[in-house]
Structure 1
Amino acid sequence: MGQPLPLRPDYDGPALRTPVRRCRDAMQARWLLALAAIYDDAWRTEAARIGTVTLQII
């Protein structure tokens, strides 16, 4: 099993949620919300559900 990639320190949950309001692409908005959930210490399964992707992608 591979090692997880570290999160970038210059982003956080609220910073990733801000552009979602202006986003016109629904899939991109879901991916940003999934990343925001990860930055906010949500479970990976919850982030996958938000982003409508599998756990392997998360």
Structure 2
Amino acid sequence: MAVVDTLIDAVAANPGLTIILVVLLALVFGAYLFIRRIVVSAAEGYDQGRR
């Protein structure tokens, strides 16, 4: 539980940093989903082009 307590203390002490980290994680996750969608769509397009 010491790790959880340390994490809670860090979030309480630095709310601005926490918000920045959450926004950065959301952007990275969104970029991953966006790139994944492009790659999957391209693969489907190549498969349809071969038929």
Q: TM-score, normalised by structure 1?
A: 0.32
Structure with the higher helix share, 1 or 2: 2
Larger Rg: 2
**Bigger RCO of structures 1 and 2 (CA < 8 A, at least 6 apart):** 1
